[in-house]
Structure 1
Amino acid sequence: MSDHFSIVSGVSAVAIDGRAILIEGKPGSGKSSLALAIIDRGAMLIGDDGIRIDTSGNRSIALPPPNIAGKLEIRGVGIVELPTGSAPIALILDLDGSPERLPDTLVMRTMGNVAIPVLPFDAKAPNAALRAQWALKLHGVAF
């Protein structure tokens, strides 16, 4: 594997209109459920509970992980297989953070050569998938 690739476990990711949202949080925080709900609204799975990141260019690209590509755990139901894709990382949703009612300034995390906004997010709030899509529109890096 190239020095520009890294494997990140415990993170889920979906692609919406060519941009990736990373979903991070503790086990049981709702990462897979949120990813599934966003996929139900038309997004594509990148990875569940693990992703691969390519930082070789001027973007950080989220890719399916080699050993569990296409698999998503639906807690209490089982593991399903879904099509996967890849996309540049545009936003990180932090399920362990404390969401603000109206966030004005977001913490930025550098991945490769790109500063990615990190938004504290409540995955268990009503309409979480719709809210995640709006978060991407309002706060995500534009490519």
Structure 2
Amino acid sequence: MLSIAAVSLSIFGVNAASMGAAQAQVPTACTVGVNCPPYSCETGEACLYYNSIENGLNGIFKQHGDIADYRYSATGQALAFQISNYGGEGANQPVKNNAAAVWNRSDHRFGVFYNSSYNCSVACQSIPSLVRVNLNSSLKNNNASGYYY
């Protein structure tokens, strides 16, 4: 079970100790048209993509809550990208340190962090509501945690 360190997120003006348990989509291996549909980013979600916007986005990870470590879900299962409506490149690859872009379709800001437990000491990026962006050069393929605020 993951624990969330009580760290101050002064860049975002929030305290991680007040955050609830993470809710994450835990994928299973599948093939579009055989045993699963392609997934798309829905209203209210922040979605991480395996490729940058200009490279077609492809694999998707749909995040519904705060995740202190993209390596595992709150139940200890490995987190991985799934096939998206943009394509399958990156499907079944780990989410941690493999994201290139984020589409924030929630009504809150979303933060991506270089370190686990929402630690911004090395790098972090704040993504406004309803925006799709590439991760900055410090975070592309260096994403360890994600947080709504």
TM-score, shorter chain, exceeding 0.5:
no
| Interval of TM-score (by shorter of Structure 1 and Structure 2) | 0.3 to 0.5
Query: Structure 2 length as normaliser, TM-score?
Result: 0.34
Q: Which has the higher helix share?
A: 1
Query: Structure 1 length as normaliser, TM-score?
Result: 0.34
Q: Which has the higher strand share?
A: 1
